[in-house]
């Protein structure tokens, strides 16, 4: 497993995401993912499956300390009066005394000042409830502001990233700040497997289009990607991205798929003003 180093954190480059994964599905597939070799599991309070993720880790047969576990605080819990309690609830559900990474889930959706939000993250570090902290769905302006406000270093910004969206500005800002980027929606809501360019590249390497995109992501400096599947067969496919490399020309061809309307996830009440593509 490749490791991404960012502001003192060492994060497995390939994670298993549980967004929109109901509890029974988590219990079925996550232990198998961990046994296969996944060592990075991502969840969130709002997913409603933290309890099942905690049970799945226990049932995997792999020690909790060998798993990099991420969860996220929802905007409704950002206030000083509810932040710590919310983290405690997550830890109880996850059946652990700490997570490896705690994120603010969205930059909007709350009237709580950013300074107070960052204060909550730092308090979680000081109390030992998380080893590292970060953000999710932040634009570059908010990334810089959050970094200035935080006593502990922020280690990642989790964002939508796939071949159809240009995230070069966010990537560069993350690198300037010593942070990583964690990519979600890597399959672009089902568009990736149908893309001729990706299938053509995959045929050269005897890989699928999905494997090509996961490889494209982790082959970029400081980029982590989350994969997700509900089927055991796809687990092995998603994990099989460490035995080949894309050429510079292939990487460029995938970057060239980006277009102005490529963004998929954009909830108006939660999202920031996104950076314009480079």
40 marked as part of a ligand binding site: no
- Active-site choice (47, 78, 184, 185): 47
47 is catalytic: yes
CA 172/CA 68 separation, integer angstroms: 25
CA 44/CA 254 separation, integer angstroms: 30
CA 94/CA 121 separation, integer angstroms: 18
Q: Which of 160, 180, 155 is nearest to 99 (CA)?
A: 155
In SS3 terms, 65-126 reads as HHCEEEEEECHHHCCCCCHHHHHHHHHHHHCCCCEEEEEECCCCCCCCCHHHHHHHHHHHHH
3 strand-pairing partners: 12
Cβ–Cβ contacts within 10 Å for residue 187, how many? 19
Instruction: List the binding residues.
Output: 105
Catalytic machinery residues: 47
Instruction: List the binding residues for substrate.
Output: 105
């Amino acid at each position: 497993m490749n490791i991404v180093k960012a502001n003192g954190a060492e994060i497995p480059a390939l994670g298993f995401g549980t967004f929109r994964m109901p509890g029974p599905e988590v219990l079925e597939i996550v232990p198998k993912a961990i046994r296969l070799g996944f060592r990075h599991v991502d969840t969130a309070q709002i997913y409603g499956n933290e309890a099942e993720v905690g049970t799945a880790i226990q049932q995997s047969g792999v020690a909790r300390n060998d798993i990099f576990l991420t969860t996220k605080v929802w905007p409704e819990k950002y206030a000083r009066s509810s932040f710590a309690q919310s983290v405690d609830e997550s830890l109880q559900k996850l059946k652990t005394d700490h997570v490896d990474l705690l994120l603010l889930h969205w930059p909007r959706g709350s009237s709580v000042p950013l300074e107070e939000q960052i204060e909550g993250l730092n308090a979680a570090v000081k109390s030992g409830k998380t080893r590292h902290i970060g953000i999710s769905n932040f634009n570059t302006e908010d990334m810089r502001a959050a970094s200035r406000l935080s006593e502990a270093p922020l280690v990642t910004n989790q964002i939508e990233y796939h071949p159809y969206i240009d995230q070069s500005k966010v990537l560069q800002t993350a690198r300037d700040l010593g942070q990583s980027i964690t990519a979600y929606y890597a399959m672009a809501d089902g568009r990736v497997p149908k893309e001729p360019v990706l299938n053509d590249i995959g045929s050269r390497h005897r890989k699928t289009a999905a494997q090509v995109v996961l490889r494209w992501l982790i082959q970029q400096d400081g980029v982590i990607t989350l994969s997700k599947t509900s089927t055991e067969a796809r687990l092995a496919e998603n994990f099989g991205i460490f035995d080949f490399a894309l050429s510079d020309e292939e990487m460029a061809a995938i970057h060239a798929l980006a277009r102005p309307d490529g963004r998929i996830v954009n909830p108006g009440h939660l999202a920031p003003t996104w950076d314009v593509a480079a």
